[in-house]
Chain A
Amino acid sequence: MKLEFLLDTKIVILCGTGGVGKTTTAAALALAAALEGRHVGLITIDPARRLATSLGLNRLKSDPQPLNKYIEEEIGKGKLKGSLSAMMLDSENTFYRFLKNVGGSDIHDSFKSSTLFEVIAGNFGGAHDFLAMEKLFELDKSGAFDLLVLDTPPARHTLDFLDAPEMIARFFDDRIFTWFLTNPRSHGVAERLRATSAKVALSVLEKLTGEGVINDFVSLAPHIYKVKNAFVERQQVIRKLLTSNQAGAIFVSSPTDLSRGEAKPFLKDARAKGIDILAFVVNRSLRGLAPEAEPRGLRSAPAAVAENYRRLRFLVEEEEKNLKLLKELAGTDRPVITAPELEEDVHDLPGLLALAEILG
């Protein structure tokens, strides 16, 4: 195996901007590890649900969906030494499940009946990060998998979820929150805003939002308080695991996108957050298609054929420049793996398998 860490790492996170085949790469690496005998859980939080497509499935569910049978139907029995299950991160579902597990039915129901929370939950875009961590915790604890492969959404700030524990702790830690708890729904909202230094902020918020939101929040506050420690703790557990030597990130890019210069800030960020970069994967390389500047037969080829070759060659030259820069960044201890452009779009299992062989 080229990527030996797939044999002993517990969590691998795939990062990189959209459009570089990150989801496909996640699926291919998960498959490669499963073929080698690992029990792999593959999670995508990509809101576009593209993982399902690359696994040749119509829709993924939010619970792990075992794919062994499906894989064996496609590639024949006996080749798959481990197992592969795939799932979509359903943020809403993950959160309510967390509430039920940690807080019990009462708390679960009070969140569910809150209008404020209903809207927030329907708009969980920004909370994907926290809930991906929560999902990792849940899956890691279930013991059903020995490798979790997480495909992140195509956000720029891909490693931000590592900040989640502090962010949440900071939010709940403030006096304003305690204040909510000590004066639950006692008087009119304005009256409750007298003594603390945080009151100004709250009164400003209230002037903007009307009493409704603040009241909604006040009635939820004690429940939030009860579950927040558990939430923060779980986030911390996962972060500890993510920053240990049992986990790491893979930066995925395409040769032309490398020119965006995103690898550098990503590396800096990863270093600052203490997460290992396990490898760089560069997808869809055209190098094999236009390997030389002046191959034999170029001059005698029909105009359209020669023109096409020159165009591809320009692309390859750009690619080479970008790759050189990336290798300098990566240094000697991190593998840079290039996967060639495949003849077909990868949207089924045989395609994924071909990619798994190249990458793994």
Chain B
Amino acid sequence: MSLDFSSIATRKLLVVTGKGGAGKSVLSLALAHRLSVMGKRVWLVELGRKRDREFSRLPELVGRSKIGHEPAEVTLPGTKQKIKVSVLDPALSLGEYVDLKLPTGGLAGMLLNNRVTASFLEVVPGLPDLVQMGKLWHALTKDENGPDVVVLDAPATGHAVSLLKAPANFRKITRLGPIYRDASLMAEFLGDPAKTGIVLASLPEEMSVQETLELQKLLGKEFPAPLVVVNKCFPALPKLKSENPDSIVWRAYTYAAQRGLREQEAAADLKGARQLPYLFPEPGALPLYLRLSELIP
């Protein structure tokens, strides 16, 4: 059970999404770790408004109390690998974009201090997505000191689609001007299988599998074919005959064996998906992300 990683290891942007609870954050960190071991400069990113940060798991996973908008270098727990991490702020991203396009000094500040623009960002669907994706794209394509690869721990299913489609949508709305040009280039970048890789994390449960299939359909042909990962699969247990099926230990065994079978059945609908095992807690084990990283060849 290993993840066919080689197919996406060469991409510049890896977008990890899928069902909530499918282990996106840990998987993103495991991928970031692998890429860092390969010698790449890695930037691991989450998106969010101020309030999202209270809920972010990233600080805990990399052993920091807080992670902000500016890329911060961290040494991954239990290793010597150094990567950069950020939780982006959409308002700051917009400011940076404006400064970049209209370098007349202080405009961004005025723009952002303006109540209307601040609420514009809140109310216009897709604008926070666009400016944050734009920041990643800029770092990857224009910035000489930028990272070799960005791993984006993206929001769950529904929101991820609007995130990925934001550039194409803005291309459609604007028709001309800098946003039009940049959004067009970004849409191309996101659609290019040499540049962008999409990882869809699913759970081996019927509902989660359906959701993943639906997401694949929504992404359609506009985006590179995703790598589908079925995470947290219970192990396949050998069929054993018990003389005492009602005892506690045997009931637990029957449960786990049946769960394993049921999960295989559910996961079978995701053709070509890679399965990753359920990592049971073990006293003294490595951090979860490292255990997962070891399963990526």
- Write 9 A-B pairs (CB below 8 A) sorted by A numbering: A19-B203, A24-B207, A47-B157, A207-B177, A290-B248, A305-B240, A305-B249, A308-B253, A314-B283
Segment at the A interface, from B62-70, B107-115, B140-148: B107-115
A206: chain B residues within 8 A (beta carbon): 177
B97: chain A residues within 8 A (beta carbon): 208
Residues 72-117 (chain B) with a chain A CB within 8 angstroms: 97-98, 101-102, 107, 110-111, 114-117
Q: Which secondary structure dominates where chain B touches chain A?
A: helix
Query: Which residue from chain B places its CB closest to the CB of A177 in the assembled complex?
Result: B116
- A347 located at the interface, meaning its Cβ lies under 8 Å from any Cβ of chain B in the complex: yes
CA distance A155 to B48 in the complex (A): 11
Q: Which secondary structure dominates where chain A touches chain B?
A: helix
CA distance A92 to B242 in the complex (A): 56
What 3 A-B pairs come out closest when comparing CB atoms? A18-B20, A19-B21, A47-B158
CA distance A127 to B128 in the complex (A): 13
Contact B110 A301 (CB under 8 A): no
Contact A309 B207 (CB under 8 A): no
List the interface of chain A (C-beta within 8 A of B).
Answer: 17-20, 23-24, 46-50, 53-54, 115-116, 119-120, 122-127, 153-157, 160, 167-168, 170-171, 174-177, 198, 200-201, 204-213, 216, 254, 257, 260-262, 265, 269, 289-292, 295-298, 301-302, 304-306, 308-309, 311-312, 314-315, 317-318, 341, 343-345, 347
Contact B247 A295 (CB under 8 A): yes
- Contact A208/B166 with A115-B173, A174-B115 known, Cβ cut-off 8 Å: no
B255: chain A residues within 8 A (beta carbon): 289, 312, 341, 343
Contact A289 B252 (CB under 8 A): yes
CA distance A213 to B175 in the complex (A): 8
- Contact A204/B98 with A53-B210, A290-B252 known, Cβ cut-off 8 Å: yes
Which of B54, B114, B177 is A200 in contact with, Cβ under 8 Å? B114
Q: Which of B158, B166, B244, B282 is most buried by chain A, counting CB atoms within 10 A of its CB?
A: B158
Contact B252 A201 (CB under 8 A): no
Contact B253 A17 (CB under 8 A): no
Segment at the A interface, from B7-15, B36-44, B119-127, B220-228: B119-127
Contact B214 A171 (CB under 8 A): no
- Contact A170/B115 with A210-B179, A302-B240 known, Cβ cut-off 8 Å: yes
Q: Which of A48, A160, A213, A347 is most buried by chain B, counting CB atoms within 10 A of its CB?
A: A48
Query: Which residue from chain A places its CB closest to the CB of B20 in the assembled complex?
Result: A18
| B287 shortest CB reach to chain A, Å | 13
Contact B176 A156 (CB under 8 A): no
Q: Which of B107, B169, B256, B282 is most buried by chain A, counting CB atoms within 10 A of its CB?
A: B256
Indicate the size class of the contact surface on chain B: 35 or more
| B25 shortest CB reach to chain A, Å | 9
CA distance A357 to B205 in the complex (A): 22
B247: chain A residues within 8 A (beta carbon): 295-297
Contact B124 A120 (CB under 8 A): yes
Contact B101 A208 (CB under 8 A): yes
CA distance A315 to B255 in the complex (A): 14
B119: chain A residues within 8 A (beta carbon): 167, 170-171, 174
- Contact A210/B214 with A46-B158, A157-B52, A289-B252 known, Cβ cut-off 8 Å: no
Which of B98, B128, B280, B283 is A208 in contact with, Cβ under 8 Å? B98
Which of B49, B60, B114, B250 is A198 in contact with, Cβ under 8 Å? B114
Contact A309 B205 (CB under 8 A): no
- B192 located at the interface, meaning its Cβ lies under 8 Å from any Cβ of chain A in the complex: no
Contact A343 B258 (CB under 8 A): yes
- B272 located at the interface, meaning its Cβ lies under 8 Å from any Cβ of chain A in the complex: no
Contact A154 B156 (CB under 8 A): yes
Contact B165 A308 (CB under 8 A): no
| B201 shortest CB reach to chain A, Å | 10
B189: chain A residues within 8 A (beta carbon): none
A347: chain B residues within 8 A (beta carbon): 206-207
A156: chain B residues within 8 A (beta carbon): 48, 51-52, 55
B178: chain A residues within 8 A (beta carbon): 207-208
| A57 shortest CB reach to chain B, Å | 13
Contact A201 B110 (CB under 8 A): yes
- B184 located at the interface, meaning its Cβ lies under 8 Å from any Cβ of chain A in the complex: no
Contact B101 A265 (CB under 8 A): no
CA distance A260 to B114 in the complex (A): 36
Contact A301 B207 (CB under 8 A): no
Supplied contacts A304-B237, A345-B205, 9 more A-B pairs, CB within 8 Å: A19-B20, A47-B158, A47-B161, A48-B157, A123-B166, A309-B253, A311-B280, A315-B281, A347-B207
